[in-house]
Amino acid sequence: MNSKTLGAIASIALLATGCGGGDDATPDTPAATALAPDCTAVQRLSHANTVFKSAIQIDTDVVRSGTVTMPAHCVVTGEINPRTGVNGVRYSIGFELRLPLTWNGRFQFLGGGGVDGSIPLAYGFQRTGGVPALAQGAAVVTSDMGHTGVNGRDATFGLDQQARIDWGYNAMDKVTVMAKEVIGKFYGKAPQYSYYVGTSGGGRQGMMMAQRFPLHFDGIVSGAPILEQHLAQIGSMQMLQEFTAIAPKNANGQPILSKAYTDGDLKLIAAAVLSKCDALDGVADGLIENYPACTFDASELQCPGGKADTCLSAPQVTAFNKVMTGPRNSAGALLYPPAPWDTGIGEPEWRSDQIGTATGPIPNSSKFSNQSIKYVFMTPAAPDFDYLKFNFDTDPASMLASAAYTATNSTNYDGFKARKGKHIVYVGLADTLVNPSGVNRWYRELVAANGGLEATKQFARLFNFPGMGHSVGGAALDRFDPVAAIQEWVEKGVAPDFLVATGSRFPGRTRNICAYPQIARYVGSGSVDDAASFRCTAP
């Protein structure tokens, strides 16, 4: 690889830092005298509580993201607040910062995913489309959010209180402050525009920045935000219990969760939902645009006699309907909103997340294998907790404490509004990891707390994607560029009334995904593949 390794940069004395919370330099105010725009200059930089581990100059076209090659840049790695924690485990807030030698004045913090634990390549957001920020000339930073783990699923860090706090919000603040300081010293001026972009866990992180650290970023994109797991995971517990209760048993009397519904059963439900709700937007085209009007009852598919491939058994109907009405306690109080009916029920992602494919008695679904419930969201951590014994009257209280450092369902955007920040939030209506009904409830509460819809749309807009799964995928139009939209809004004042979307499941189709509460409704003529055949209107 054609690069120059500069080796370890001197460790910095561990000095106490503040809690963050502000962007001290205005976009046009130089932060320092500019250093030469090359990696050797980074050797002279320092930041409190930080060890800069290495700096490498990467030449033009040496690295790429997909088919996009990156410009010449400096990649800096390091860690903040290294320490030894509970059980002798070493912790630190790891980061990667990439500084293009030709800079366009933008800074992007690319969020992580799951419960993090690894440092993503700091190229910039590209998951749903668009050109990554580094390729456009922006400085980009990423982080492991304070711990190391595997595949974003290792939540054992939850045994360490500081690691919980670092993952919940502290790492985002510390890395932002560090990155902006280094950028200011490297280029001689602060970023002109700062953005936080992420999906899933990264979507939650973006919401955290708007709510807890509102002065850090001009624009934020939060896709599929996991905004209130202390509440939403109660729905996961309900699903596991209801579907396990009806699952066929093996020779030892153990239920096999994956067999609660066959692939044919799930496709049957999805097809029935589509048949009933597809045309509610004016035309049957494979997308349920008018999702607020879509209701369904699985009893429509119940077998008149024994179970057959073309119908559902009575236990299957009862369990599915119960799950789709949301979790309740013994008094009948709803503990979290029910998920919307959507075609995603028939997609592989639904099976993978909800009931899995394991042929043995130990499920492999994402909901069952989710460590974060036991280690992070339950206080104290309960590594041996049995999800099938979750008590809907008493156990929800064990998750409330985690809201203090993980939840991003606040409606207080006063600081963000004062900064004139802009926030785009989007979610797939077939998302089985983030209940889109919870995201929509939060937005309605945001509207109520901030002077109504028009006032709220001045700083935050929500987009619901029919058929789309967790961040991408599903029978959906899932290719769009929210980063370009947030930049247009921040830098030119052009607010997005819709996001233009395409997708491989509907070749040749373009559709405008309308800002909540509007939906795309067919005008009565024209091709369903042409966005001009639809208008954003009230449901």
Give the integer Cα–Cα distance in Å for 70 and 73. Answer: 8
Distances (CA, A) of 456 to 22, 211, 449, 483: 23, 14, 9, 20
Active-site positions? 200, 431, 470
The three-class DSSP label of residue 3 is: strand
- The region that residue 66 occupies, defined by phi over 0 for left and psi between -120 and 50 for alpha, beta otherwise, is left
Q: Are strands 534-537 and 50-58 parallel, antiparallel or unpaired?
A: unpaired
- Which DSSP category does 169 fall into? I
Residue type for position 12: I
Neighbours of 41 (CB within 10 A): 16
Q: Which residue shows structure tokens 């009007």?
A: 293
Measured CA distances, 292 to 8, 329, 340, 456, 468 (Å): 56, 26, 8, 20, 16
Cβ-contact 453, 447 below 8 angstroms: yes
- What is residue 179's three-state secondary structure? helix
DSSP collapsed to 3 states, 119-154? CCCCCCCCCCCCCCHHHHCCEEEEECCCCCCCCCCC
Classify 45 in phi/psi space as left (phi over 0), alpha (psi -120 to 50) or beta.
Answer: beta
